[in-house]
Amino acid sequence: MRWMSHAVAWGAVLVGLGAHMGAAAQEAGDALRMSDGASLSTQADAAFHDIGTEGLTIEGWFYLDELPEVGEVQTFFSNPSKYALGMGIAKGDGDDEWYDPNEVRAFGSLSSEQGWGSRIKGTMGEGDHRNPPIKKWFHVAWQFHAEPPEVGWFYVHKQPIPLGRDERFPWALPAGDGALYIATAKLGQHGFGVEPDTDISVFRGLVDEVRVSSIARYDGRDAVRPRHFRPDRHTVALWTFDGDRPYADSSGAGHHLTHTGTITVEPLAVDGRGRLATTWAQIRSGGR
């Protein structure tokens, strides 16, 4: 009966291998890489600028191949004339006593229906790690609040930055055209608070797992940001960029993305050490 014990053992190995491969397949997915001049956006919809009674959160995961050049600011999210969030090394920072020409900063801006606006910048990391990580995924979020004490927060890598001014409540983002742009250099007239000759570009790296929520998702500096999002009753839109329909809204709300220019879809493959690595795939020109 020894052959039976060997068969059972091999069966267990194959089952275990199948389970491992199934888990790997679930972990692997696709991500996007923007080319110069490309644009990725939603249709205009108030859902992308309506703070409502519970807030609004726009968030995603980003992956850098290398740090930006001096004089370049790359865009994460924008809703022209309403808000924008990006990162880079802007020209003109030399007037800042804390300026470091090798330090990447986050840049945020917002405009209110009440006529006031804010522009803010801050470091992306903490302590001695003040730049975004290279060849690692990091989380970015713009979060707007419907109640005091803070108007909102933006989270970039390890550094959450609050926008205070509780005397500004109640407040609202401007109405009108409300298309959300992802990793696209389209900011509107307010844009970032940088010198005019700063190069505002698409995000130069990979973009994955972008979600919009009709709630302020995170509370304070130590909030945990999940690497993979799951739709729930607060999800306005969720784009995972996976499969044959990388621009489809997987939340079921129908907010599918449109694009122009060249966007490369790259699969995320699990390497032998169990970490996510990226490999090139073909260019998919259709937003099926």
For residue 25, report the phi and psi dihedrals to the nearest 5 degrees: -65, -35
The answer to whether residue 287 sits within a structural domain is no
pLDDT in 10s for each residue of the chain, 288 residues: 444 444 434 444 333 434 333 333 334 589 999 999 999 999 999 999 999 999 999 999 999 999 998 889 999 999 999 999 999 988 765 455 555 667 889 999 999 999 998 888 888 877 777 788 999 999 999 999 999 989 999 899 888 888 877 788 999 999 988 899 999 999 877 788 888 788 999 999 999 999 999 999 998 777 888 889 999 999 999 999 998 899 999 999 999 999 999 999 998 754 333 334 443 333 343 433
Q: Where are the beta strands (DSSP E) in 112-158?
A: 117-123, 137-144, 152-156
Cα–Cα distance for residue pair 111/117, rounded to 1 Å:
4
Measured CA to CA in angstroms, residue 136 lies from 122, 139, 143, 221 at distances of: 20, 10, 23, 21
Count of the separate structural domains present in the chain: 1
Please give the residue range of the domain that contains residue 237.
30-278
In a domain, 273, yes or no: yes
- Residue 283 placed within a domain: no
Instruction: Kindly report the CATH number assigned to the domain that includes residue 148.
Output: 2.60.120.200
Alpha helices in the chain (DSSP H): 2-27
Cβ distance 40 to 183 under 8 Å?
A: yes
Q: The whole model's pTM is what?
A: 0.83
In a domain, 122, yes or no: yes
The 10 Å Cβ neighbour count of residue 217 is 19
How far from the centroid of its chain's Cα atoms is residue 19's Cα? 31
Q: Judge whether 14 lies within some domain.
A: no
Is residue 8 in some structural domain? no
Q: Which tokens hold the place of 41?
A: 């956006």
* 202 part of a folded domain: yes
Contact 122, 130 (CB under 8 A): no
In a domain, 19, yes or no: no
